[in-house]
Amino acid sequence: MSNYMDKSQQPILGNNTVDPETPKAGQWRAAMWKFLLFSALGIALFIIPFQWDGKVTILLGVLTDALQAALGSYVAYITMAIVSISCIGALAVKVLKPNLDEGSLTKKLFDIDWFWVATRFLGMLFVWMIYLQVGPEFIINRNTGGVIFEDLIPILIPLFFFAILSLPFLTDFGLMEFLGTLASKVFIKLFKLPGRSAVDAMSSWFGAASIGLLVTMQEYDKSFYSQREAAVIATTFSVTSIAFTYVVAKTIGVDNNFVFFYLTIALTGFIAAIIMPRIPPLSLKPDTYHSGKSMLDEGIPAEYTTYQWAVNRAVTRAHSMPSLGHVFKGSVNNLFDIYFGLIPVIFAIGTIGLGLAEYTPLFNWLATPLVPLLEWLQIPEAAKAAPAMIMGFADMYLPALVGKSIESEMTRFIVGAASITQIIYMSEVGALILKSNIKLNVLELFLIFILRTLISLVVITSVAHLLY
């Protein structure tokens, strides 16, 4: 440890304005323990998978399931309260124009653009229609609004509760700096990304897509990622969890081949992550920062080894963090922002997307050009498989529900694996990206979705032909 203290005069975090003081002697030891303990807690919560109650999950998943079970049917009332307060509060601020303090939580939650006010109003309208079962089937059907109200939101509310409150253990006490420094050369060369995005990738892969995306959003808002980097990470590493991958495999009837199914998804995701940052629209995104300048420098001084610099940066970051009470207060504010800002958007965008998939031929039309490609790739029942793949843009689970009726196991394998690697689905990830400060619009998200689908199809089909 003395080796690190001898070199403590070096700047650590690369902050272009003021570098935090590197701790010395007793401060160093205290900061080291702070880094080790809180980062270990973050890893235990978000990353380490284990067997629990017959399924592979993470500690955050166990806590989420426990809270979901405790809330039971009350989650419906909590949901309606959140969505209603979100809309009424935003409308009140727009109409009454109160003098809100700059930076106050009320201003952050409710002083929003008219577009998002309208989106919140739609979300409130939909949630009450679904609950009361009044209105068009397009909205209130079990397979449209019912999926959002009964399946998705009861999971997201407890998930966000634990994820947002505990996210600083993963991102703010040195783990990002430590792993980012170690992985920087690999991630820059392979994915054109800073090394700290490795933490995003792991938290998505072992946890949930929304968790990795929340990490990305916060890192972009802090100017640790540029707009291009944040856009790449959000649309490339927000992979669903191992647990949900198994659910998809079981639904579509290929769980007997799950090991190869999962390895195929891992290979496909890796190849797509190399290609996507190098082609439009992601390659055209500017390297500009939310605050106007980068707060990150992953360069390693010549007198340090990579590991020494990783430890130095991690311990210094842990030392610079305020008290846990201050961190917790910030997390609570972020939790309210996610609840009031995102839940109504998921209801609005997710219900419309699922309604279009269930009641209109839109996805069949969009899938028409895909049929010849599937036939060229020698995929059986191509006409049935094509719409199922396009429906993944509305919701990740739809391809499995539609594709389970396909007779060919090889085709079901391809549809299921592709639905996981497509990543962009509007019922959750797409809505979260649109609500974030990362500047990606619906058309760009759809183009990224199509490109990922094409890349995935080539890789997955090649593996499928070897297996079947």
**pLDDT tens for residues 100-140?**
888 899 998 999 989 889 999 999 999 999 999 999 999 99
Confidence (pTM) = 0.74
Query: How many structural domains does the chain have?
Result: 1
Per the domain annotation, does 134 fall within a domain? no
What is the Cα–Cα distance from 130 to 146, expressed in whole angstroms?
7
- Give me the pLDDT at residue 243, please: 60
Q: Is 52 helix (H, G, I), strand (E, B) or coil?
A: strand
For residue 206, give the H/E element and its range. helix 197-206
Q: What is the mean pLDDT of residues 221-239?
A: 89
What band does 212 get if pLDDT is binned at 50, 70 and 90?
confident
Q: Regarding predicted confidence, which is higher, 76 or 184?
A: 76
Lowest-pLDDT range of 3-7, 33-37, 131-135, 456-460:
3-7
Per the domain annotation, does 256 fall within a domain? yes
- Give me the pLDDT at residue 10, please: 38
Main-chain phi, psi angles of 51, to 5 degrees: -85, 130
Per the domain annotation, does 211 fall within a domain? yes
How far are the Cα atoms of 301, 422, 448 from residue 37, in angstroms, in the given order? 27, 36, 39
**At residue 31, does pLDDT exceed 80?**
yes
- Give me the pLDDT at residue 226, please: 93
Per the domain annotation, does 167 fall within a domain? yes
Strands 50-52 and 55-57 come out as antiparallel
Per the domain annotation, does 17 fall within a domain? no
How do residues 416-459 score in pLDDT, each as one tens digit?
999 999 989 887 788 889 888 998 999 999 999 999 999 999 99
What is the Cα–Cα distance from 403 to 135, expressed in whole angstroms?
29
**At residue 238, does pLDDT exceed 80?**
no
What band does 205 get if pLDDT is binned at 50, 70 and 90?
low
- Helical segments of 133-174, H only: 137-140, 145-146, 153-171
Per the domain annotation, does 295 fall within a domain? yes
What band does 271 get if pLDDT is binned at 50, 70 and 90?
very high
Q: What is the mean pLDDT of residues 221-234?
A: 92
Per the domain annotation, does 6 fall within a domain? no
Do 395 and 145 contact (CB within 8 A), yes or no?
no
What is the Cα–Cα distance from 132 to 145, expressed in whole angstroms?
12
Do 260 and 463 contact (CB within 8 A), yes or no?
yes
Per the domain annotation, does 171 fall within a domain? yes
Exposed, middle or buried: residue 286 (CB in 10 Å: 0-12, 13-18, 19+)?
exposed
What domain range includes position 311? 34-54+160-467
